[in-house]
Structure 1
Amino acid sequence: MFSVNGCFHRFCFSCMKQHIEVKLLGGQTASCPSDGCKSEVKMECCAKFLDPKLVDVMVQRKREESISVSDKVYCPYPTCSELMVKHEVLEYTKQFFLGAEQSGARKCMKCGLFFCTQCKVQWHYKISFDDYRRSKGYQNAGDGMLKSLAQSKRWRQCIKCNNMVELVWGCYHITCRCGYEFCYTCGAEWKLKKATCSCPIWDERNIIRQSNVNPRK
């Protein structure tokens, strides 16, 4: 039996596993399934019976919820995409870059690469923000390659913030990191947690099954 921290309501492991997976696949974090109880399900307590991928999703969701939208900044490098807090990454960058606050330069706290927090691209040395924004290099920076890759990988682009979204597993209800919700199949907006299109909500191939789970020892 699994006991929820804080309220000590008890449930079997299989029921808790299913409850948490359904919540995460729906773009939510998990709380106690007992009617009316709002106790948080701690990630460290349920990691032993969840797929490691789900644990990573829970960690990311908790971190995103703890940071206001106006304070979020993401590393623009596709191989990183680390979520950071604006004032934290600024203070971190000041150790390596003189005039970071005025220039807009930031050093990713994970991969260590520099980027422009205003352009949201890799750092453009010796070129001002305004000059770079007017340049052909900015207008075409990786557009062709990105579009080709997005098409081959069947990625979706959020119409609100233009970030690319890749569905690895789960349902087709997408909640972008900017907060915008849409259908991964057609791109139609979700309103009040409800679809505005008639596309299927999920595909059996994208749902994690018990047989695919490798429990942590």
Structure 2
Amino acid sequence: METCAICFEEIDVARMFSIDGCLHRYCISCMKQHVEVKLLSGIVAQCPHEDCKSEVNIDSYEQFLAPNLVAVMSQRIKESSTPVTEKVYCPYPKCSTLMSKKEVFEYTKTSYVGAGRSGARKCMKCHYYFCINCMVPWHYKMSCEEYKKSHPYPPKEDQLLNSLATTKKWRNCEKCNHMVELVEGCYHITCRCGYEFCYTCGAEWKNKKPTCSCPIWDERNIIHEQPGEVQAIIDE
């Protein structure tokens, strides 16, 4: 028997978990709760011991978590650690695997000659080819321009999103295509990819200055006091 340093229960040594790197040991029940809390926040769990920085190897999670939960959490961790401008998702609906642009290119060039020039990429999970430029299944005998001419209308799902974005007045980042919604603040938007633009018209900001003549802010987006207080501030 061994005492768990978290719950202080006497546990059979076969039910104790040892963390690689530091060899601190805790019962599987306590480790399960500790890891679940961390993974639900999208971060890798560290050893619960005070000031210990050893990470719990994600491959060892299967000792106390269901395999499907491990897969979901592995995806979340990868999403949080992959830069926005490097993220690429497989366009096949039944796959949608997250990859980085660099890793999928390295994976593709071993089986497809001219991948860098053509834009062809091979999904690392489903192994189907797709176009990194158009983000559609690979158009083998067509250039991107030819494909766009022959498919002038976006898929139904994209049409619905674009319609909602228009209604809600959301704005797309021109650099990474990330959808942005202004909740509060001024109209000078700095996307998470670093690109700066005007939320009203989409024009780029250069050297911290707008290239358009749109208003920079609206009182309704920057003042959050009670109505009476807002009026007093405006009057002043």
TM-score, normalized by length of structure 2? 0.52
Tell me the residue number matched to 2:51.
Answer: 36
Cα 1:82–1:3 shift into 2, 3 Å: same
CA-atom RMSD in angstroms: 3.2
Aligned-pair CA distance for 1:46: 3.5
Cα 1:103–1:68 shift into 2, 3 Å: same
Q: Assess if the C-alpha contact under 8 Å between 1:43 and 1:58 holds in 2.
A: no
Q: How does 1:150-169 map to 2 (within 5 A)?
A: 161=178
Tell me the residue number matched to 2:31.
Answer: 16
Mapped to 2, the partners of 1:2 and 1:93 lie a distance apart of 39
Tell me the residue number matched to 2:154.
Answer: 140
Mapped to 2, the partners of 1:48 and 1:97 lie a distance apart of 38
**58-67 vs 11-20, which moves further:** 58-67
Q: State the SS of the aligned residue for 1:122.
A: coil
Mapped to 1, the partners of 2:110 and 2:57 lie a distance apart of 35
Q: State the SS of the aligned residue for 1:2.
A: strand
Q: Runs of 5+ in structure 2 lacking a partner?
A: 1-15, 162-171, 180-191, 194-236
Confirm or deny that 1:4 pairs with 2:15.
Answer: no
Q: Assess if the C-alpha contact under 8 Å between 2:43 and 2:77 holds in 1.
A: no
Aligned-pair CA distance for 1:67: 4.8
Aligned-pair CA distance for 1:69: 4.2
Cα 1:9–1:98 shift into 2, 3 Å: closer
Mapped to 2, the partners of 1:38 and 1:138 lie a distance apart of 53
Aligned-pair CA distance for 1:100: 2.2
Cα 1:124–1:44 shift into 2, 3 Å: closer
Counterpart selection for 1:27 from 39, 42, 46: 42
Confirm or deny that 1:52 pairs with 2:67.
Answer: yes
Residue type at the aligned position of 1:18 = Q
Cα 1:142–1:122 shift into 2, 3 Å: farther
Identity of aligned residues (%): 52
User: Which has the larger Rg?
Assistant: 2
Tell me the residue number matched to 1:108.
Answer: 123
Mapped to 2, the partners of 1:100 and 1:83 lie a distance apart of 19
Aligned-pair CA distance for 1:104: 0.9
Mapped to 2, the partners of 1:91 and 1:142 lie a distance apart of 32
Confirm or deny that 1:89 pairs with 2:84.
Answer: no
Confirm or deny that 1:120 pairs with 2:150.
Answer: no
Mapped to 1, the partners of 2:49 and 2:59 lie a distance apart of 20
Q: Deviations over 1:101-145 (max 9, x none)?
A: 122111223222221101111123333223434x4725322437x
Q: Assess if the C-alpha contact under 8 Å between 1:3 and 1:11 holds in 2.
A: yes
Mapped to 2, the partners of 1:87 and 1:28 lie a distance apart of 22
Residue type at the aligned position of 1:4 = I
Q: State the SS of the aligned residue for 2:125.
A: coil
Mapped to 2, the partners of 1:142 and 1:96 lie a distance apart of 32
Cα 1:65–1:140 shift into 2, 3 Å: closer
> How many residue pairs are counted as aligned between the two chains?
152
Mapped to 1, the partners of 2:141 and 2:84 lie a distance apart of 30
Q: State the SS of the aligned residue for 2:151.
A: helix
Mapped to 1, the partners of 2:37 and 2:53 lie a distance apart of 17
Q: Which is bigger in relative contact order (C-alpha 8 A, separation at least 6)?
A: 1
Q: Runs of 5+ in structure 1 lacking a partner?
A: 149-158, 163-177, 180-217
